[in-house]
Amino acid sequence: MTRPAKSCSVPLSGIPPRHLSQQYAEHEEFVRTPFSRGGHRGQLPPHLEATIDPDRKSYERNIDPMRQFVRDRSLHATRTIPPSALHDAANHHYRSQRRTSGRDSASEDLDFLGSSHGFKSVDLNDQLEFTTCLSDTSHGTNSPTSSQRDLEAEMRRLRIELKQTMDMYSAACREAMSAKQKVQELAQSKLEEARIIEEARHAEEAAKKLAEIEKMRALAAMESAEKARRIAELEAQRRHHAEMKARREAEEKIRVLDALAHNDFRYRKYSIDEIEFATDNFTEKLKIGEGGYGPVYQGSLDHTPVAIKVLRPDAAQGRKQFHQEVEVLSCIRHPNMVLLLGACPEYGCLVYEYMDNGSLEDRLFRRGNTPVIPWSVRFRIAAEVATGLLFLHQAKPEPLVHRDLKPANILLDHNYTSKISDVGLSRLVPPSVADSVTQYRMTSTAGTFCYIDPEYQQTGMLGTKSDIYSLGVLLLQLVTAKPPMGLTHHAERALERGTFIELLDPTVPDWPIEEVLGFARLALKCSELKKKDRPDLATVILPELNRLRNLGIAHEAGRSFFSENSSPGFSGTGPSSVDQEKAEGAGTQ
């Protein structure tokens, strides 16, 4: 039985819709949808067009010419086939549709494109199945014509070409996607490189700025160092000029003193015979002491008691000290400076006035069981030593620095009047540097351990403040009668703890506590390690010591301390009680 041709499921765009079966159209809506609507033949409605992926649209644009070609060829073929054959082929295809569902078709070959790459599937069932219907019809009628065979061959060729084209297109799409991915990766890499380059540029700019700052700092440091070097050079030049000037002035002073000494203007020359006669040929029984310079003998010259200091032949600096002491003592006269009566230059003998009570050191430590010195006399001795020291510091034309001030070089006469002796180590200091921060530099230090200025000992810088340190230690010994070793440290700790009274000389029972504490604080200020921290002798130290001396004088007057038949400060004891020890400190050292 032959079915109408319109029931054949060949929805070609070239075949009018009247030849399509209405029932087949209801079951095969995917064929009807793209081609059966008059307003959108071959395309989607406008409201769905925007939802289509651009790649799928591109694919459809590429496949449209193929569809048109297939439709044209198919239409040409159908025009040469009788209508009855078309109806029979369509019915035959419809009946065998379910049995041939697994047949290879172009739509199956293109399905992977839609699923793998997101492109729209191309429905070529209309053309391919139409060809099948034609083939079946031709077989059914058993009347193949040359046109049918050509059409079938052409359809097979077109199917092969379409498959190849789709394969090529699929490969091209894959390559395009791969290229797109590579482009994206390259763009990302380029952005990353740009970011790295930007960071490197910022880092380079920061490094340049930092280098510029460091360069400016280095330049500033170099300028500062250069400025400091120039200042140091100027300071060294000024110091050198000051030292040279001081040296010239000292040499001039020495020449003047030498001229005075050679002319016998300041001291009397004694012959060696007179010296030997006065000392009974330097007998041991008249020897009253010995120091670094040499032995000291008691004698009598011109019916006057004298102390004769004899230069030891092996004394290293003996000759220099001899000339120094002659130069100094022959030019000065002061109540608190020991008096130089004469000298024997040929044999290095110095003749001094005789001091009955010996040295302050012997009396403080009561050598020979001598009486205790009262606190009032100790305050007076301190003021007298400071007065004599200020006289040396204010000497004209140049100040003098004693350099060896200590209790052993403070001599006491029969009234316990103190006098400074042993100026052989004293130095002439230029007035321009006497009290300045930059002091006169000595090539070698001199003095006695525990009394010598620590700063002078370390740097060799000599000044009048160097004697202030020695004075501070001496003042502490006056009130404590203790050895000098570590005395300043012990006194400072005792003052801090409030136990300084325990450190005072216990042989004196009636210390004025407040006054002696102020005396000790002043002594500690004098013994500061740095010169700049020590007080001034003329404006600070001496006024305070004079106040304490006046306090002692008032105390002595109130108690009638002195009597006609007793030594000052020693009840019932005359000068004869210290005859054995009186000369030990006279002119020592």
Q: If we measure between CA atoms, which residue out of 34, 36, 41 comes closest to residue 22?
A: 36
**DSSP assigned state of 259:** H
pLDDT digits (tens, 9 = 90+) for 451-483: 888 888 888 888 889 999 999 999 999 999 999
Yes or no: is domain 268-354 CATH 3.30.200.20? yes
Mean pLDDT of all residues belonging to the chain: 75
Give me the residue label for tokens 């203007």.
265
Question: Selecting from 3.65.10.10, 3.40.140.10, 1.10.510.10, 3.40.630.10, what CATH number does the domain 357-589 have?
Answer: 1.10.510.10
List the alpha helices (DSSP H) in 394-512: 454-459, 465-480, 487-497
Assign 3-class secondary structure to 311-379: CCCCCCCHHHHHHHHHHHHCCCCCCCECCEEEEECCCCEEEEECCCCCEHHHHHCCCCCCCCCCHHHHH
Q: If we measure between CA atoms, which residue out of 204, 239, 182 comes closest to residue 432?
A: 239
Q: If we measure between CA atoms, which residue out of 144, 139, 15, 137 comes closest to residue 73?
A: 15
| Catalytic machinery residues | 404
pLDDT given for residue 46 in this prediction: 52
The Cα 498–Cα 509 span in angstroms is 19
Q: What is the pTM of this model?
A: 0.52
Please state the domain extents for the chain.
5-176, 268-354, 357-589
pLDDT given for residue 219 in this prediction: 93
Q: What is the mean pLDDT of each run of 10 residues along the chain (589 residues)?
A: 42 41 41 44 49 51 55 51 49 46 43 42 47 49 74 93 94 94 94 94 93 93 92 92 88 68 65 92 88 84 90 69 77 88 88 91 91 95 96 85 90 93 65 42 56 87 90 96 94 95 94 96 95 94 96 84 48 36 39
